[in-house]
Structure 1
Amino acid sequence: MSENWAVQQAVKAAILAGMPTYAECGGLMYLAESLTDFEGRNWQMVGVLPTTAVMGKRLTLGYRRAVAQQNSPLIPMGTTVWGHEFHRSSLTLLPQQSLYQIQGYDPASALGQEGWCQNQLHASYVHLHWGGRPEIPARFLAHCARFAQTQP
């Protein structure tokens, strides 16, 4: 991944230009400044998000209830969505304002902050469950259409 500099720069330029982008889990990691692998080696990533994804032994796994803390190309602020997390990485820096307030499936579980939203980018470890929520892809496609109309 880190050796394909031209693709990374094209992805970064498109996101910074406001192209609606949905990145979950591995996509979130790819958009970070770098990735530290299991052996401690550091690999340059796209660099849109000012954080490093660090691989670790701890597995984060479970269903999540996520409430949007800001508007994104997929969901408006205040919307509750469901999804799951399944990853062995963590981020070295979290955004000042997170995309979601998340909670585990058990209502007694602790609340947390998660995800990034900037420049029409919706990036999160949460894999959204779109079943029964056709407004999610419809909203994303509407954002994409508006962006396409601004392009030469």
Structure 2
Amino acid sequence: MRGTPPLLMLLLTYYGLPKLFMLIGVDINDWAKMIFGITGLSVGWSAYLSEAFRSAYLSVDKGQYEAALVVGMDSKDAFWQIIMPQTALIALPNIENLVIGLVKATSLVYVIGLIDMYNAATDLSNQNQGVYKLGIFVVLALVYWLIVLTIEWIFRSIRNDYEYVTV
């Protein structure tokens, strides 16, 4: 999945998933386009997210797990109480970048007929015969920038709260 562009995943989901479901006798052609958009982007980004967690998990020292077992924790508790908190903290910056990338990739859903901010800006520009095109797209860029700043603020807050709890 990591080797395929998000646009391709959207198109494969929108055109291929109904055909795949038809093979088992389920007709999903009347499903909302939003479901296909969410599914396509989720499938594409899930591979990146799993890689972020895998690399974070592998970076936690195995001695942490062994030490938890030595002091009497069972393996499940050692994993969830010792390994996963460290893994989540290490993975947090990568997850933040993935969420920001996902927000930007939502501009691709126009190819399956969904109205997004980019499509709305293009329509608005076309209604005005392109007179305010630059201004419209500058405002769109500012909207995306504000969304990204909000995401960064949320992740910074999570990181600060999480580091405070773990110290």
TM superposition score normalised by structure 1: 0.26
Larger radius of gyration: 2
Q: Which has the higher helix share?
A: 2
Q: If each structure's strand is expressed as a fraction of its own residues, which one has the higher value? A: 1
Please, what TM-score do these two structures have when normalized by structure 2?
0.25
